[in-house]
Homo-oligomer: A and B are copies of this chain.
Amino acid sequence: MIKIKFLSVGKTKETWIEEGLQEYIKRLSSEASFEFVWFKDEKSLELQILKEKQVILLDPLGKMMNSVEFADFLFREFEREGSRLSLAIGGATGFSDEIKKGRFLLSFSKMTFTHQMSRLILLEQIFRAFEIKKGSPYHK
């Protein structure tokens, strides 16, 4: 079982986003388990990142990949990190330089999204990555 941890600021208030997240968690339940860790502000989030062994940062200046490249990247990370992955979602202005140093920065858009929409988009792309690896028709 792959373990994926999301680190982000602010709990989901919108029930429809929570339902969307639950839908993808359910679809992935036989392959991956998810943990969501909340922080009250960006500062507390950054302090936690410093304590984590390995965290991928979602940052506006990060590397852009298409869904197939993201699937390859994700499964390489699972292999390298013993089926564990932590992802941190930054704010509109991204992370501080200290945090970014030596960590992988990922971006899915030049556009800015709410933290909640970012979580939803990321989770859908993780689900898509599993479907791509299975060769399912979901991707097309």
Contacts and interface: CB of A to CB of B under 8 A. Distances in A.
A60 B20 CA distance: 24
Interface residues of A, number: 31
Work out how many copies of this chain go into the complex: 2
A92 B138 CA distance: 11
Interface string A106-121: 0011111110010001
Contact of A67 (B20, B91, B93, B111): B111
A64 to B, nearest CB: 5
A140 interface: yes
Interface of A: 14-17, 19-20, 23, 60, 64-67, 69-70, 91-93, 108-114, 117, 121, 124-125, 128, 139-140
